[in-house]
């Protein structure tokens, strides 16, 4: 969905101005949240929320995030895959982002709050924005019991919140491993700020995050 020829790029560039962007909304903090373990300096979390360019681009600006890496999760990790193969939509993998963060600075629950406030629409099944297919589903991949408890409770909380007209369809999925995307897909938003796709779909999410969560925003993105 993100491979464009010259004509398509021109059309998409025009849509940057012409088409409205989904209205973001601040969701409540989750209860319960994962408590920071005094013996652990850094934690890891994995999120799938459509195109990984924007997911990585926003989460890399969250204070306490040390690293955000685009890649793939959800499929059988015994298979080696790449962007082209996952884009066929039948691998079970979803475009995902692995986040390394300091739980004493930002909690897993706070990352979830940012994710659902400005990154992913939890009511769209197997698509986000212009990207359709199971590889663009929204999903949470807990890496430990605390994350699993918080993720499941938060989805239930969001379902009862009344913030969306449609039901919440984001799922908690079993983590089977993570495979990094190719280097040209890493830090894509930072490296390509004038790319029409970034301007239309992802830059507004970063702007919304900056405005809605100023205390969480860091100007310099993590590596």
Domain boundaries, given as residue ranges, for the chain: 6-212
pTM confidence score: 0.89
pLDDT attached to residue 7: 42
Query: 190: how many CB neighbours lie within 10 A of its CB?
Result: 15
Number of Cβ atoms within 10 Å of the Cβ of 38: 8
In this predicted structure, the answer to whether residue 141 has a pLDDT above a threshold of 60 is yes
Q: What is the pLDDT of residues 160-191, one digit of tens each?
A: 999 999 999 999 999 999 999 999 999 999 99
- Res 202: pLDDT: 97
Q: Which residue has the higher pLDDT, 16 or 194?
A: 194
Position 223 scores a pLDDT of: 75
CA distance 208 to 189: 15
Active site amino acids: 51
Q: Measured between alpha carbons, how far is 71 from 78 in angstroms, rounded to an integer?
A: 15
So what's the pLDDT on residue 39? 58
Q: What is the pLDDT of residue 12?
A: 43
Work out the average pLDDT over 133-154: 97
Average pLDDT of the residues of the chain: 90
- Residues 119-133 have pLDDT tens digits of 999 999 999 999 999
> Alpha-carbon distance 144 to 8, whole Å?
43
Q: What is the pLDDT of residues 25-71, one digit of tens each?
A: 789 888 888 877 665 799 999 999 999 999 999 999 999 999 999 99
CA distances from 57 to 4, 13, 163, 165, 192 (A): 21, 20, 25, 27, 11
| pLDDT above 90 for 207 | yes
SS3 assignment, position 167: coil
Top-level class of domain 6-212 = alpha beta
């Amino acid at each position: 969905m993100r491979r464009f020829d010259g004509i398509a790029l021109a059309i998409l560039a025009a849509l940057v101005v012409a088409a409205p962007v989904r209205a973001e909304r601040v969701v409540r903090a989750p209860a319960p949240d994962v408590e920071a373990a005094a013996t652990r300096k850094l934690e890891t979390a994995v999120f799938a929320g459509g195109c990984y360019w924007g997911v990585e681009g926003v989460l890399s600006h969250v204070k306490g995030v040390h690293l955000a890496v685009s890649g793939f999760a959800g499929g059988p990790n015994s298979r080696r895959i790449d962007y082209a193969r996952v884009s066929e939509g039948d691998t079970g993998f979803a475009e995902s982002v692995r986040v390394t963060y300091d739980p004493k600075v930002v909690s897993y629950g706070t990352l979830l709050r940012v994710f659902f406030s400005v990154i992913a629409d939890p009511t769209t099944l197997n698509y986000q924005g212009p990207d359709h297919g199971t590889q663009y589903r929204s999903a949470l991949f807990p890496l430990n019991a605390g994350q699993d408890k918080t993720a499941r409770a938060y989805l239930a909380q969001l379902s009862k919140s009344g913030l969306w007209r449609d039901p919440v369809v984001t799922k908690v999925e079993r983590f089977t491993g993570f495979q990094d995307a190719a280097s040209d897909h890493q830090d894509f938003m930072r490296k390509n700020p004038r790319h029409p796709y970034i301007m239309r779909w992802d830059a507004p999410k970063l702007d919304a995050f900056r405005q809605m969560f100023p205390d969480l925003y860091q100007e310099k993105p993590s590596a």
